[in-house]
Amino acid sequence: MMARGFTEEEKQAIQAKLILACEQSWALNGYKRTNIDELCAKAGISKGAFYLFYESKEILFCDVLDVIQARLLALVQSTISNTPTKEEIGRVLKLIYREYEKTNIITQRNSPEFVAFLNRAPSEWVASSQMISDHFMVDTLFNANLTLKIDQAKAVGIFNGLLSLILNKDILGYDHFEVFSFLLDSALDDIYV
């Protein structure tokens, strides 16, 4: 029995469903417990049909990270003007923090599971992906026309440190977003002129 072919529109819709289902499962369950059978069920295809779209689970995960990266870049571009202010930098970092909280995938970058994924991902993707860079969003912010009061490496470390609060949000003893916002607002005047 020959498999039914998909129209181009069906292919795009199925691929979008697979990416969305994978992002949701990865955020909730992690890489290892994200199951291809379950993703296929959510996308309305058979497991055999999955391989018409992706050679492997890892290729799908790469696409998920690429989609998240595009979403974060669009967030930055829609929030920051050509001549950004400290307030815009603060606003975009708060939006990024919320996105990190929502996806939960980015916060897993140093976990053994994420390393296992990277070891199985195509090496050319790993080499070219900005998503796995420690400075992904921060590098984008330093393309701004604002003048730093401190060394850029120190500013990058401060922003990365603040964003990493999400990893310990459950033990802060207070609303983690309010803590992040307070620390960020306090730091911006010491980072930028």
Q: pLDDT averaged over the chain?
A: 88
- Stretch 52-66: mean pLDDT, rounded? 95
Domain extent listing, the chain: 1-54, 57-191
167-190 pLDDT, tens digit each: 888 899 999 999 999 999 999 999
2-26 pLDDT, tens digit each: 446 889 999 999 999 999 999 999 9
CB 108 within 8 A of CB 30: yes
Q: What integer pLDDT is reported at residue 134 of this predicted model?
A: 56
Q: What integer pLDDT is reported at residue 2 of this predicted model?
A: 41
Share of the chain above pLDDT 70, in %: 92
- Domain 57-191: assigned CATH number: 1.10.357
Contacts of 138 (CB under 8 A, 6+ apart): 155, 156, 159, 160
Q: What integer pLDDT is reported at residue 1 of this predicted model?
A: 37
- Stretch 37-62: mean pLDDT, rounded? 95
Q: Read out DSSP for 67-97? A: HHHHHHHHHHHHHS-SS--HHHHHHHHHHHH
Cα 40 from Cα 46, distance rounded (Å):
6
109-141 pLDDT, tens digit each: 778 998 899 999 999 998 888 766 655 666 667
Compare 69 and 187 and report the one with higher pLDDT. 187
Residue 104: Cβ-neighbour burial (10 angstroms; 0-12, 13-18, 19+): middle
Full-model pTM: 0.83
Q: What integer pLDDT is reported at residue 78 of this predicted model?
A: 87
The superfamily (CATH) of domain 1-54 is Homeodomain-like (1.10.10.60)
Share of the chain above pLDDT 90, in %: 53
Cα 86 from Cα 68, distance rounded (Å):
25
